[in-house]
Structure 1
């Protein structure tokens, strides 16, 4: 039912920036890596594929190679993280891509090209250290 008066709407601790997600069957996630959700809502290390949802950066290592989906969990932090830029010259993220989407190459690399990939997040900065990407 829609509001008819003001409401004290609760906020998640830390604004939902830290979440715990179920890990996909057979998945290994390394701490510090880019994490995605598959179509079933299970976490796995980011790969170049369509239909994935970027979740954030893994805060811990999680190995579910011998488990079913959800047997293990992984702590993930959402925010702005610096990932590697692709080595493919034509697909590099450049300063003109700031505030535009970038796309997943793997669990530590992004690209400016969407073809065959999923969105990693918004480019916040292009630095000598890598590409600052907002994953929220």
Structure 2
């Protein structure tokens, strides 16, 4: 490709809703914590390695009988409240700004449980109902690299 010699209409993504291709044998529910696997496909939050949080499912997605990429789900990055873990993994206001880790598709924890959990996002706030998690896939990857 050569350098521009005239103006160019450079496309952009407007809005904050994204469309992600689901991994094989995957079903997600609206409102669930979503992650991307190493192959680039979307999965629900789970205690697993090799994933990174991407946001909240905006609708349900069913690829339970399909191959990777046969179905898609709408998701949104941003700040959303999920359930807090318990015991030594319970997140407090002291962890605001720290990376949190996915336990399942609705729960986050303070630690990676000896490298068995993947990063979901960052603690934005904590209240009596749960943990407000900020999802930014790129920043989460950088912070945990």
Tell me if both proteins adopt one fold, taking TM over 0.5 as the criterion: yes
State yes or no: 1:106 paired with 2:107. Answer: no
Q: Residue 25 of structure 1 corresponds to which residue in structure 2? A: 24
Aligned partners of 1:48, 1:2: CA distance in 2, in Å? 46
Q: What SS class does the counterpart of residue 96 from structure 1 fall into?
A: helix
State yes or no: 1:131 paired with 2:105. Answer: no
Structure 2: 5+ residue runs without aligned partners?
137-145
Q: What SS class does the counterpart of residue 69 from structure 2 fall into?
A: coil
**How big is each residue's C-alpha offset from its partner over 1:76-135, in whole Å with a ceiling of 9 and x where there is no partner?**
100000000013x11100110001111110000000012311111110101011100100
**How big is each residue's C-alpha offset from its partner over 1:1-55, in whole Å with a ceiling of 9 and x where there is no partner?**
899xxx98654202xx211011111000111000111111111111011110111
Report how many residues are paired: 130
Aligned partners of 1:9, 1:44: CA distance in 2, in Å? 31
Structure-2-length-normalised TM-score: 0.83
Q: Residue 12 of structure 1 corresponds to which residue in structure 2? A: 13
Q: What SS class does the counterpart of residue 74 from structure 2 fall into?
A: strand
Q: Residue 121 of structure 2 corresponds to which residue in structure 1? A: 121
State yes or no: 1:83 paired with 2:78. Answer: no
Q: Residue 36 of structure 2 corresponds to which residue in structure 1? A: 37
Aligned partners of 2:51, 2:23: CA distance in 1, in Å? 13
Structure 1: 5+ residue runs without aligned partners?
none
CA 25–132 in structure 1, closer or farther in 2 if over 3 Å, else same:
same
RMSD value, Cα: 1.8
Aligned partners of 1:133, 1:44: CA distance in 2, in Å? 18
